[in-house]
Structure 1
Amino acid sequence: MPLKIVFKPHLLKFKKEAGTSRGVMTQRNSWILKVTDSDQPGIEGYGECGPLPGLSIDDIPDFEEQLTSVCETFNEMDLEVFPFNLSIILEQIVPEHLPSARFGMEMALLDFMNGGKRIIYKNEFSAGQKGILMNGLIWMGSCENMLEQVDQKLSLGFSTLKMKVGAIDFEQELTVLRSVRKRFSKDEITLRVDANGAFQPDEVNEKLKRLSEFDLHSIEQPIKAGQHDRMAEICKSSPVPVALDEELIGIFDYREKFALLKKIQPPFIILKPTLLGGFQHTKEWIEIANRLNIGWWVTSALESNIGLNAIAQFTAASNNTLPQGLGTGQLYHNNFESPLTIKNGYLFYDLSESWELPEIV
């Protein structure tokens, strides 16, 4: 019998408001996929599609209708999946303008091929033997609230903090950074900031100069994506190393990826598989970055634990030693229970814990 894929919407609800320069989120939509084969009863592969509001190119009103069409096409084609034909199936079935759908289907098929046990990539992390170093995320809020978040993350053992900037008063954001640096040197606590493209091109140089006082590891996407000449200038002159994030979204052709990174020459790139079209596309960005001596790390895009688990296992397989952005699993009231756990700033896969998965028919 052919493979069959079905899905179910799931509305994720934040425990606290999540503030960025693009606005405040209290909930987000996700669609959970399930792959089965009647000839292999009991084996179920799970995936997750979750366009990120205001950022994903498939954050569109009719996403569910288009996902339905993709699944119907898949179910009509009498397919079998193997490692050698997975990328071909994805290219033929899922349009490029639905990157989160491609990511979700790729994840579900990989899970199915590995026996339907939520082991997407077999490595020391998924075997419960090794953790992944992470940064602790500080959401935008009042100065007092952000300082509270800093103390909370430090108490949990994080040695790298990533702070959202660009939405509240810049002086208040500097106050938070100053407070951390008064207490901890760069050798004790690594600081990253993420502007989400919030700085204006005519003010960015001054703001980067002021931010450089705090020995920052990097700043993500200081100006809006698409200004390649200006971004190349910033990357060359910035006293704070720049990491591209939104700049990568919507680029799927290998040659275009290479041309972008060769032109801008950023010190780092940030990789979000949900936004980039899945693991195969993410691997291409990594290969190009390595060729051009550009550093990189992987970040989740507010997925549930189903998507986060797959991203974490992919990241572990890449053997990247930088702190990764994989701490979003604790954000929701109604996340799915999973073996994912955080200890002393590391993400672990605890084999003694079990999965709670949705019923999808």
Structure 2
Amino acid sequence: MPLKIVYKPHTLHFRKEAGTSRGVLTQKTSWIVIVTDSEKPGVSGYGECGPLPGLSVDDVPDFEAQLANVCSIFNELDLDVFPFNLGIILEQLIPENRPSIRAGIEMALLDIMNGGQRILFKNGFSGNNEGILMNGLIWMGSYDNMLAQVEEKLSQGFTTLKMKVGAIDFDEECRILEAVRQRFDKNTITLRVDANGAFTAENVRERLARLAAFDLHSIEQPVKAGQHELMAELCAASPMPVALDEELIGVTAYRDKFALLKKLMPPFIILKPTLLGGFTATSEWIEIANRLHIGWWVTSALESNIGLNAIAQYTARFSNPLPQGLGTGQLYTNNFESPLTVENGHLYYRKEVAWELPGHALAEPA
């Protein structure tokens, strides 16, 4: 061919402060990678390496140097890519403890394999204007701020809301959930909550009991990851279904994935491809979850529209009826213009809308 990779950091700026139990986010940096083919001028594959601060395995100070090294090795090898060798390239070129690099380069390679048109997976979403049902995300903030977010999401047609809990006063968080339930029962509005590991072994049972009064669909990661005995107990005995999220991060071997889910047997798992090592790795979690009759849904991890588009197209392959967590594309003031649009609580890919993407004048790996 040969294929070549270049990259560039892109700092995304939030429209509003985004509060989680790990702190408040105002900006987030992703590295955009572009793969080109010397024999096909003008054809490019785009991907996004987007480690999440404080959560990704590869949230490390020398991340860019490690990405540059991977790209440099790739460029030296004169690689060609096909469906049969994509997994081999990713496994042998990129360490498993660099999941967002694997995810971003996988996106770019899938894009160029399919013609460099930002159509990584051909399905009803990417080709036929079929929407993906989503949950509306309510960020942590003051009582009035969070209630205003609820009103905004309801006005936008969302029928599933996911509220971050664990950072402000727990009584106020319960008041917000109560206010929603006084207006809408569980058959009208589905409520999910995400604790991001904020509860402790001492208070988690009492808090789950209080939250159960609001007819919740599920609670994500009630306690910090790694407490397997406690989490197994909560998955079995919680008055509402538990969904694992951070618990999956850093687990890379197939046998370890199976052993974890077999031991904890959660009702649901949450899958963030950027944090798990890309689509090949995510598909392993899905295969195991299906074998163990564990439900799942996919969530973006604050990627730009480049990463979100790839994740949404991947998600659409499975026709999962549960609301997915793919609503983060509207968070930023400087996102890339794309065909992605949110309408009536669904994500759509409107092919008539053009992409506006960074050009090829990016950083050549040293």
Other-structure match for 2:16: 16
Give the secondary structure class of the aligned counterpart of 2:125: coil
Q: Distance in 1 between matches of 2:285 and 2:160?
A: 24
Give the secondary structure class of the aligned counterpart of 2:127: coil
Once the two structures are TM-superposed, the CA of residue 42 in structure 1 deviates from its matched residue by 1.4
Q: Distance in 1 between matches of 2:229 and 2:4?
A: 46
Kindly indicate whether the alpha-carbon contact (under 8 Å) linking 1:128 and 1:348 is maintained by their aligned counterparts in 2.
no
Taking structure 2 as the reference length, the TM-score comes to 0.98
Q: Which amino acid aligns with 1:273?
A: P
| Structure 2 gap segments, 5+ residues each | 362-366
Other-structure match for 1:129: 129
Give the secondary structure class of the aligned counterpart of 1:192: strand
Q: Which amino acid aligns with 2:17?
A: E
Q: Distance in 2 between matches of 1:245 and 1:343?
A: 27
Other-structure match for 1:118: 118
Once the two structures are TM-superposed, the CA of residue 202 in structure 1 deviates from its matched residue by 1.2
The superposition leaves residues 249-295 of structure 1 with CA deviations (integer Å, 9 ceiling, x where unpaired) of 00110000000000000000000000000000000000000000000
Once the two structures are TM-superposed, the CA of residue 193 in structure 1 deviates from its matched residue by 0.1
Q: Distance in 2 between matches of 1:135 and 1:23?
A: 22
Other-structure match for 1:227: 227
Q: Which amino acid aligns with 2:256?
A: E
Other-structure match for 1:198: 198
Other-structure match for 2:208: 208
| Structure 1 gap segments, 5+ residues each | none
Once the two structures are TM-superposed, the CA of residue 129 in structure 1 deviates from its matched residue by 2.5
Once the two structures are TM-superposed, the CA of residue 97 in structure 1 deviates from its matched residue by 1.1
**2:40 matches 1:51:** no
Q: Distance in 2 between matches of 1:97 and 1:292?
A: 26
The superposition leaves residues 211-242 of structure 1 with CA deviations (integer Å, 9 ceiling, x where unpaired) of 00000000000000000111000111100100
Q: Distance in 2 between matches of 1:139 and 1:266?
A: 24
Other-structure match for 1:278: 278
Q: Distance in 1 between matches of 2:149 and 2:207?
A: 23
Other-structure match for 1:289: 289
Q: Distance in 2 between matches of 1:309 and 1:212?
A: 34
Kindly indicate whether the alpha-carbon contact (under 8 Å) linking 1:46 and 1:107 is maintained by their aligned counterparts in 2.
yes
| Aligned residues: CA RMSD | 0.5
Other-structure match for 1:176: 176
Other-structure match for 1:320: 320
Q: Which amino acid aligns with 2:326?
A: L
Identity %: 72
Q: Which amino acid aligns with 1:173?
A: E
Give the secondary structure class of the aligned counterpart of 1:125: helix
Other-structure match for 1:188: 188
Other-structure match for 1:105: 105
Q: Which amino acid aligns with 1:196?
A: N
The superposition leaves residues 170-218 of structure 1 with CA deviations (integer Å, 9 ceiling, x where unpaired) of 0000000000000000000000000000000111000000000000000
Other-structure match for 1:256: 256
Q: Distance in 2 between matches of 1:360 and 1:248?
A: 35
Other-structure match for 2:364: none
Kindly indicate whether the alpha-carbon contact (under 8 Å) linking 1:8 and 1:360 is maintained by their aligned counterparts in 2.
no
Q: Distance in 1 between matches of 2:208 and 2:221?
A: 12
Once the two structures are TM-superposed, the CA of residue 37 in structure 1 deviates from its matched residue by 0.9
Q: Distance in 2 between matches of 1:196 and 1:208?
A: 14
Counting matched residue pairs gives: 361
Other-structure match for 2:329: 329
Once the two structures are TM-superposed, the CA of residue 89 in structure 1 deviates from its matched residue by 0.2
**2:143 matches 1:143:** yes
Kindly indicate whether the alpha-carbon contact (under 8 Å) linking 1:3 and 1:80 is maintained by their aligned counterparts in 2.
yes
Taking structure 1 as the reference length, the TM-score comes to 0.99
The superposition leaves residues 63-105 of structure 1 with CA deviations (integer Å, 9 ceiling, x where unpaired) of 0000000000000011100000000000011111110000000
Q: Distance in 1 between matches of 2:201 and 2:171?
A: 19
Give the secondary structure class of the aligned counterpart of 1:8: strand
Q: Distance in 2 between matches of 1:238 and 1:67?
A: 41
Give the secondary structure class of the aligned counterpart of 1:80: coil
Matching of residues 292-311 of structure 1 within 5 Å: 292-311=292-311
Kindly indicate whether the alpha-carbon contact (under 8 Å) linking 1:47 and 1:307 is maintained by their aligned counterparts in 2.
yes
Other-structure match for 1:239: 239
Q: Distance in 2 between matches of 1:32 and 1:120?
A: 16
